[in-house]
Amino acid sequence: MIIAVDGPAASGKGTIARALAAHYKLPHLDTGLLYRAVGQTVLDRGGDPASALDAFEACDFADALLADPRLKLAAAGNAASVVSAHGSVRQALMDRQRAFAAQPGGAVLDGRDIGTVIAPDADAKLFVRATSAIRARRRYEELVRAGVATSFDRVLADIKARDLRDSTRAAAPLRQAEDAMLLDTSYMSIESAISRAIALVESRR
């Protein structure tokens, strides 16, 4: 079974995807990490995320980078949102994601374009959303817990800028697939969001 989980920043899609993977005993891929690794590599090389060439060349990042805690920070997230608008970057990361989805037994992938581009034939597709203020609050609290000095307003501005870039780019913009099931987690606890996600997947089995 292939499960596609898409949605904007800090909507809870990663939490839900990990829980679905544990529930159904499937491997999970956080595809945002791949774009974050490309963004971080461009920054580390002193390049410009807006340059299609710098971004494409950074797609050769070493796999060890995927475990780097810097990828969780706002700098990598913002750079990821810029490099991910280049069609050449999306193309370079596509085979790896499609191969992950196609492994025997299936997989759970979360990102922005899993249900629309990477796995359009997924057995179950969820589109997870929450208001931008609630998402910013969650991300802000996550960063504070990790000891990062930031402000709520800054996190909210980053999230809004990323939402706008991700949903208006020409290449695989963030959007709900027509056959995706909507899950608004704004006023749900993590536990309720996970239970609801499992119920929605079950409805498609």
Ligand X SMILES: Nc1ncnc2c1ncn2[C@@H]1O[C@H](COP(=O)(O)OP(=O)(O)O)[C@@H](O)[C@H]1O
Ligand Y SMILES: Nc1ccn([C@@H]2O[C@H](COP(=O)(O)OP(=O)(O)O)[C@@H](O)[C@H]2O)c(=O)n1
Which uninterrupted H or E stretch holds 161?
helix 152-168
Cβ at position 61, least distance to ligand X in Å: 20
Select the residue interacting with ligand Y from 77, 107, 126, 130 (CB under 6 A).
Answer: 77
Give the Cα separation of 21 and 202 in Å (integer).
13
Q: Does 86 bind ligand Y (CB under 6 A)?
A: no
CA-closest candidate to residue 41, choices 77, 72, 9, 65: 65
The residues, any chain, with a CB within 8 Å of residue 176's CB and separated by 6 or more, are 6, 115, 127, 182
Give the Cα separation of 68 and 156 in Å (integer).
24
Q: Does 49 bind ligand X (CB under 6 A)?
A: no
Q: Does 35 bind ligand Y (CB under 6 A)?
A: yes
User: Is 15 one of the annotated binding-site residues?
Assistant: yes
User: Is 7 one of the annotated binding-site residues?
Assistant: yes
Cβ at position 51, least distance to ligand X in Å: 26
User: Is 11 one of the annotated binding-site residues?
Assistant: yes
Binding site for ligand Y (CB under 6 A): 9-10, 14, 31-32, 35-36, 77, 80-81, 84, 111-113, 162, 166
